[in-house]
Structure 1
Amino acid sequence: MTRMKSKITSALADFFFEYETPRQVLVRNRRVGVVCRLIQLGVLGYIIGWVFIYEKGYQSTDTAVSSVFTKMKGVGYTNVSGTERVWDVADYVFPPQGDASFVVMTNYIVTESQQMGKCPELPGTHNCTSDGDCEGGSHKRTGHGQMTGVCVNATKTCEVLAWCPVEDDHTIPDPPLLMSAENYTLFIKNSITFPLFGVTRSNLVEGIDGGYISKCLHDPVTAPLCPIFKLGDIVRLSGFSFETIAKVGGAIGIVVDWTCNLDANVKHCKPQYNFHGLYGNPAEPDKAKASVGYNFRYAEHYMENKTQKRTLFKVFGIRLDIIVQSLARKFDIIPTLTAIGSGVGIFGVATVVCDLVLLYLLPKREFYKNMKFKYTDIQKPVSSNVKWTFKKKGKTGAQELLSRSEHQ
């Protein structure tokens, strides 16, 4: 028992009070030394330059929760066939609630006094020579209503049940009817919150007050923080021609970029505005122009002589999408230690490469192998036979050790 206790005590002492370290061999070789230092310098440059400076490996990151409010201002005037009309925000913005995605009307085709009834389709893709060409109860993909099965001889087109007269949108007004939209202004109000860091910011940053907003107009150079944008400038900065996009419509993305380093003062966290054309550009080759343009239809319904009628508008407009992208960074000890630890681990590459050069490529590789590795032979254990002799003692069956002899 005492012997077992001594062994346990010795094992615990060895475990707690001894330290093992690998044996190192100092090799004086210029080639290996240069290779080792070059690799270490490369790893050090990677850690400092890429991990810490470029990738900001010492900081944690967070993206923002965002809210956008918009407001358009401006008035347009048209005179179509002697009919004068003034268009305000309630007429040319869809939807009018100030969402982050909306359309500003710049051109339109109007079809007045439509009522439900039967009338011929437009000539062109719906031509017919007999009633057999017009299958009753069906409709064509580009048609305006359901075919009645009658071919109208006067127009050589199929008769349809639809809102009559059917819309003729083959001729788009040129120049656009609402070219005055170029001078409309857009106000963007954006609020963001970085929940991880507890930071809330608005694009109405320090220095942007009511007096400044009342007279400023956004310019990338002279007024980059002004939240009021001229529609013509937005189109120009996105790469479009206003006259072209106003004629057929288009889509533009306004990117509000919040890239912030919160290790500095929070007042330096300011937005940057960028503008991009979406869904094609009129300057692109003809094959890409199929995606150019943006339009939709809406109708104004009314009653006339107890008959329901409508005025149909095919609206060409500029769709504006307000896109908020954000990334905030701030020092954090956890990613810092992780980056340092991974960098220290990469330093082991130098040891591996230098060992390969030392042990397999140099002329004196056998000498270096003998210096680096210690070879030992396994000793055969000395066999022993132990013979025990026992003697039964009394009725209790207890055994008593009498003698022991060893044999080699």
Structure 2
Amino acid sequence: MTKTTCCCHGCLSCFFDYETPRTIVIQSKGVGLLFRFINFLIIAYVFGYVCYLQKGYQDTDSIISSVTTKVKGYSFTNSSNLGPHIWDVADFVIPPQGENSFFVLTNAIITPRQTQSSCPELPTTSTICIADCDCTEGFSDPRGNGIQTGLCVNYSDTIKTCEVQSWCPLELDVNIPEQALLGAAENFTVLIKNSVTYPKFNFHGRNIMSDIVNTSYLKRCEFNRQTDPHCPIFHLKTMVSEAEEEFQTMAVKGGVLGILIDWTCDLDWWGKPCRPQYTFRRLDDKNPTNNVAPGYNFRFAKYFYNSDGKETRTLIKAYGIRFDVIVFGNAGKFSIVPTIVNLGAALSFLSLTGAVCDWVLVTCTRRRHYYLKHKTTVLDDSDDTTESLSMGTTYGTH
């Protein structure tokens, strides 16, 4: 038999061979305990954290949501500017419909019967004057209230200011009412209708649940975390109190309150029914050490025409609470693909156990040199050359 034939025969034999790693059993209580302890930690991580807490056996989907709101209530005021006045939903909910939010008027500075005319500008360092030459006709200050006419007129018995063309009389917004004009808004109620969808699982849900809520129930229910946590009708005071705020204090300068609806759901048959969870939180900054421009306010006007056909308006600087409805959550349902992927990825950590124990054996133990001798085999190049020559002689003999 030639050398070539032997090599080919050897390759065919190697193709049908199976090799297995050599196992060395080391009877060491310390290393054995370490090995079992690491295995226990990995298995606890896999089934406790990955499977139970993180639900690694589930596929997940993100929420799609829509929200509508309807506020109810009315209030009576008697101020020097407006006199006796009834405020209803059309007055204190601005605008009537918003995207996932609504604003409730709680306080206001009202300037009635404004007309397009000329009047003295409010006194500031740039508007106080002595003579007409101190005023510039046509000048417009972006922080002012109108366009200067070029005249210096009396603002009071002691102060003169530049006259402006504007809506007169000008608004005086320095002194905010210390008591909220519409403090009774704490008794207003809001109905929140929220519909959600998890398209991947073909799941549709509403916070007005057919198995709990019906028409007669809506007429008498009121949200209470302990006694009625599924009612979609909320008192404004209850929501502000849940956010650890005082309604009458917040109503003076306004603010922003978040209504958080959590739709985190387990859609497996063994999971709990998918129900929304409500929480409330103040979202605007109320840091007492940095109280520049606190609260929430804006201006709007109501326009009229008097008997002479002249346009007039009532200007309202509105302070109030803006309620932002924030819907979030995700849903999970059993799926074999994430189960295999997550379990396989987590169980792959078991291969680290042997590496850690080997490192401890050859590094930290008293007999580390003995263990290292039996675990590793060192081959010298010269031995390999001698063996090759020997094999060549053998092939030649055959």
TM-score, normalization by structure 2: 0.86
246-255 or 81-90, which moves further after superposition?
81-90
Aligned to 1:353: 356
Cα distance 1:72–1:51, how it changes in 2: closer, same or farther (>3 A)? Answer: same
How far apart are the structure 1 equivalents of 2:378 and 2:363?
Answer: 18
Higher relative contact order (CA 8 A, sep 6+): 2
Per the alignment, in what secondary structure is the counterpart of residue 319 of structure 1?
Answer: strand
State the 1:90 CA deviation.
Answer: 1.5
Q: RMSD of aligned C-alpha atoms? A: 2.8
Cα distance 1:302–1:5, how it changes in 2: closer, same or farther (>3 A)? Answer: farther
Aligned to 1:402: none
How far apart are the structure 2 equivalents of 1:307 and 1:176?
Answer: 33
State the 1:268 CA deviation.
Answer: 0.8
How far apart are the structure 1 equivalents of 2:299 and 2:5?
Answer: 94
State the 1:166 CA deviation.
Answer: 0.9
55-64 or 262-271, which moves further after superposition?
262-271
- One-letter amino acid of the counterpart of residue 93, structure 2: V
Aligned positions of 1:9-408 closer than 5 A? 14-15=14-15, 17-81=16-80, 83-97=83-97, 99-124=99-124, 126-130=126-130, 134-154=135-155, 155-205=159-209, 206-264=211-269, 268-281=273-286, 284-285=287-288, 287-290=289-292, 292-304=294-306, 305-378=308-381, 379-380=384-385, 381-382=388-389
State the 1:316 CA deviation.
Answer: 1.1
State the 1:110 CA deviation.
Answer: 1.4
Identity of aligned residues (%): 41
- Provide Cα deviations, 1:261-286, integer angstroms capped at 9, x if missing partner: 111367710001111112134xx42x
How far apart are the structure 2 equivalents of 1:355 and 1:257?
Answer: 48
How far apart are the structure 1 equivalents of 2:9 and 2:317?
Answer: 94
Kept after mapping to 1: 8 A contact 2:208/2:232: yes
- Provide Cα deviations, 1:203-239, integer angstroms capped at 9, x if missing partner: 0122111111110011111110000001111122122
Per the alignment, in what secondary structure is the counterpart of residue 94 of structure 1?
Answer: coil
Unmatched segments (≥5 aa) in structure 2: none
State the 1:291 CA deviation.
Answer: 5.1
- Provide Cα deviations, 1:68-126, integer angstroms capped at 9, x if missing partner: 11101111222223722222211211111264211111121211221223221123455
- One-letter amino acid of the counterpart of residue 326, structure 1: G
TM-score, normalization by structure 1: 0.84
- One-letter amino acid of the counterpart of residue 182, structure 1: E
State the 1:135 CA deviation.
Answer: 5.0
- One-letter amino acid of the counterpart of residue 323, structure 2: L
Per the alignment, in what secondary structure is the counterpart of residue 173 of structure 1?
Answer: coil
State the 1:30 CA deviation.
Answer: 2.0
How far apart are the structure 1 equivalents of 2:204 and 2:272?
Answer: 11
Cα distance 1:246–1:360, how it changes in 2: closer, same or farther (>3 A)? Answer: closer
Larger Rg computed on CA atoms: 1
How far apart are the structure 2 equivalents of 1:236 and 1:339?
Answer: 43
Per the alignment, in what secondary structure is the counterpart of residue 345 of structure 2?
Answer: helix
